[in-house]
Each structure stands twice: as structure tokens, then as C-alpha cells.
């Protein structure tokens, strides 16, 4: 386990345990789609089935395309609160996915996690990158932390951060 912080607000990153973590990870995924799905005239059961299907497809894609990545569950005080998937390449650290449960958002935890990745990128002389949906509220966080738009890929922006010389 790796700590990301100190004391009462310590964040622990632990490797995902499959299939035990699957229900929690589905919950995290569904929480990231809640606002979008609120506009769809589906029943709660239909929305839940859609999220399960989309989560399964996303999970399979990540496992296939980011072999060797760290697929971690974020814990605080022993409780899972999110996920952080990171692929570390020779020249780049790619944030594959980062998501916190809604009640954990806006509390500075994402900033702490990203600052830790920025420090890792700085000390290993690598770029830090992430794809972010244009409507994602976290886009402002990335911009505040110095990420720059590298490419516009339709619904997504490809953002990069490099340490200043």
C-alpha cells in the first residue's frame, strides 16, 4: 500500500482486487455518469443496467490497452472512496482514470492525488497526461494545476503537464 498524505486525512492507494472490488468500482463509475443520465427518460433499473454495461466495457478496454498500469482503489480511513488508474511509461505518466465518490469531490483530495503524480513526473523527468471530457467539472482543476491542452479530440481534451525547468 502507498500513502498519499498524512494523519487523519491519509489516502491509501491499494491495488484493485478483482472481482471483490467490482461492485464498488461500478458505483464509482455510475456516480460519474449520474448528471448525464439524469437527463435521460429511463427508469432507475435501465440506468443501472446501462452503467453496468458501460463499466464492463470500460474495464475491459483499460485492461487490454493499459496492460501493466496501476489500477488502484483510493481509501481514506479504511473506506474506499474512489479509483486511480495510472500507466507509467518511459517518458510519460498517463492518468488513465481518476474518480472520487460524489461526497469526496471538492474537498481537495483530487488536488492532493494529482500533486503527488506531478511530483512523481517531476522527479522522474516525465510528462503527466490525461484525457478529460470537455464538460467535466474537473477540467478547471487540471487547468489550475498547470495542465495544458495538447489536442482537441472531439468530446475530450488531451491535457499534458510538464515540470518547469
**Is it true that the peptide bond before 138 is cis, omega within 30 degrees of 0?**
no
Q: Are the beta carbons of 127 and 161 closer than 8 angstroms? A: yes
Please count the structural domains in the chain: 1
Write the CATH number for 153.
3.40.630.30
Backbone angles phi and psi of 110, in degrees to 5: -65, -40
pTM: 0.92
Kindly state the average pLDDT of the residues 99-114.
96
d(CA 80, CA 73): 7
Is residue 2 helix, strand or coil?
Answer: strand
The residues, ordered by sequence, that sit 6+ positions from 115 with a Cβ below 8 Å of its Cβ are: 145
Q: Are the beta carbons of 145 and 122 closer than 8 angstroms? A: no
d(CA 63, CA 147): 26
Sign of CA dihedral 68, 74, 79, 80: negative
The residue range of the domain holding 104 is 2-161
Kindly state the average pLDDT of the residues 141-161.
94
> Is 1 a residue whose pLDDT tops 80?
no
Give the pLDDT confidence of 16-69 residue by residue, as tens digits.
999 999 999 999 999 999 999 999 999 999 999 999 999 999 999 999 999 999
Amino acid at each position: 500500500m502507498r500513502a498519499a498524505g498524512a494523519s487523519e486525512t491519509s489516502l491509501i492507494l491499494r491495488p484493485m482486487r478483482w472481482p471483490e472490488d467490482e461492485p464498488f468500482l461500478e458505483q464509482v463509475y455510475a456516480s460519474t455518469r449520474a448528471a448525464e443520465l439524469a437527463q435521460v427518460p429511463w427508469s432507475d433499473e435501465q440506468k443501472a443496467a446501462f452503467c453496468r454495461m458501460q463499466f464492463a466495457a470500460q474495464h475491459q478496454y483499460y485492461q487490454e490497452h493499459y496492460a501493466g498500469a496501476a489500477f488502484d482503489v483510493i481509501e481514506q480511513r479504511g473506506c474506499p472512496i474512489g479509483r486511480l488508474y495510472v500507466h507509467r511509461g518511459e517518458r510519460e505518466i498517463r492518468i488513465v482514470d481518476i474518480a472520487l465518490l460524489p461526497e469526496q469531490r471538492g474537498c481537495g483530495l483530487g488536488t492532493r492525488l494529482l500533486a503527488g503524480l506531478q511530483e512523481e513526473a517531476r522527479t522522474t523527468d516525465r510528462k503527466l497526461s490525461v484525457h478529460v471530457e470537455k464538460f467535466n467539472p474537473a477540467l478547471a482543476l487540471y487547468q489550475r494545476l498547470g495542465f495544458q491542452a495538447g489536442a482537441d479530440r472531439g468530446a475530450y481534451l488531451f491535457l499534458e503537464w510538464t515540470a518547469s525547468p
